[in-house]
Copies of this chain bind each other. A is one copy, B any other.
């Protein structure tokens, strides 16, 4: 590939500060207080920036899914406050935090994200999610609204927040001491938008950032997600297990962008990838066994259903026998099943099959860095993705492992940039700056 050809975009998921695997917090070299230690989170962000990764990504959501007596909560302690800390101690990496469109007021969220964008000199992104679980609603003493209401409100939230972000025109902030002109006359505008769910007068008293305003990020794969992202997003973080499915998802988002008269290249589709990088497959599998052993009984039970055959928890050290392999039928209800059977047929022990991460949230690399690079290259060259969001098993050394073992291979293959292209998140993503208020927003009556 030529040097100026399109390259893979890469994001790093930092989460709770420990890593994605339940045993991450107990690993040697991991500060058990990482959850509240902002030094640790800043160091991890700097490690990702050393690898020239495009952005940090903080999902958010209910913390009640895990057994808190033995495991840390999944979400970060507070995504906005963590990003504020990281913004001051990094220079180029993008900063994408999740904020609910369901349980925030547009003015409050718009102000936090625009301030983050200004303090990071144009590196902020907002992952706009609709909250969808009763657990999250209960945090607010509320019931979860219907899907129609949630997405209706989400469209209004993004419109209003973008309007607030654009309420200072590009050249509004003059701050000329000599002639006492702080802002340009007429260049700051009220919004006065009132939708069915939310409203705001504006203006928001925050000048444009170096990229104008934050990038909109969205996730999910439903028709509602296509419409929302197609209309507003520059980044989509997807969950997908096969090249064919990823290609179809990416196309759906690009098609949605076209329906909103946007250039489809302005919407970048990211697939998830979880990593356990080590010098060889065996070392990586052993590391993953150490990280996940407490979950083995439930995973064996689940693998039975994926393969449609009985499995024996007492035979973890043995490969599946010929009868099991012959009778196995990948479940049509779980897109990971075919891959699980493929691994089983390679002759790995039951323990090792599970340690390959065949029952995780995203495809998993358990092996040397070149395996991650191969996976990324294959998906990228198949037109399935614009980039990947990487979830390391253990942040403390998993980020460095990706940066040191995967990034150089991708660079050597001409698939990953040698340095940041620009100063802002939009410049590094390859999407246009955004200033002012989109006239379509002001003319569009919220439904």
Contacts from A to B (Cβ < 8 Å):
25-26, 30, 32-33, 35-36, 38, 42, 63, 68-73, 75, 77-78, 80-82, 84-85, 87-89, 103-108, 111-112, 114-116, 118-119, 138-142, 175-177, 180-185, 188, 193-195, 198-202, 205-207, 294
Contacts and interface: CB of A to CB of B under 8 A. Distances in A.
Contact of A88 (B38, B105, B294): B38
Contacts of A116: 81
B78 A206 contact: yes
Contact of A77 (B118, B180, B194): B118
A68 B175 CA distance: 10
A182 B205 CA distance: 42
A206 B77 contact: yes
Given A77-B115, A180-B26, A207-B36, A139 B84 contact: no
Contacts of A38: 88, 119
A140 B111 CA distance: 12
Given A70-B181, A85-B87, A141-B199, 15 more contacts: A35-B175, A36-B207, A42-B88, A69-B181, A77-B206, A78-B114, A78-B115, A80-B84, A81-B119, A85-B85, A85-B119, A104-B108, A106-B140, A138-B201, A141-B200
Nearest to A197: B141
A65 to B, nearest CB: 11
Nearest to A200: B141
A188 B108 contact: no
B188 A68 contact: yes
B85 A26 contact: no
Contacts of A103: 105, 107-108
B107 A140 contact: yes
Contacts of A106: 140
Contacts of A201: 138-139, 141
Q: How many copies does the complex hold?
A: 2
A36 B81 CA distance: 17
A26 B77 CA distance: 40
A91 to B, nearest CB: 13
Contacts of A63: 205
A81 B112 contact: yes
A111 B119 CA distance: 21
Contact of A70 (B71, B105, B118, B182): B182
Contacts of A202: 139
A176 B33 CA distance: 10
7 contacts: A63-B205, A68-B182, A69-B181, A69-B182, A78-B115, A80-B80, A138-B200
Contact of A112 (B71, B80, B181, B205): B80
Nearest to A63: B205
Contacts of A183: 68-69
Nearest to A31: B175
Nearest to A39: B88
Contacts of A140: 105-107, 199-200
B177 A25 contact: yes
Of the listed residues A42, A105, A188, the one surrounded by the most CB atoms of chain B closer than 10 A to its CB is: A105
Contacts of A108: 103-104, 108
A201 B207 CA distance: 37
Contacts of A70: 180-182
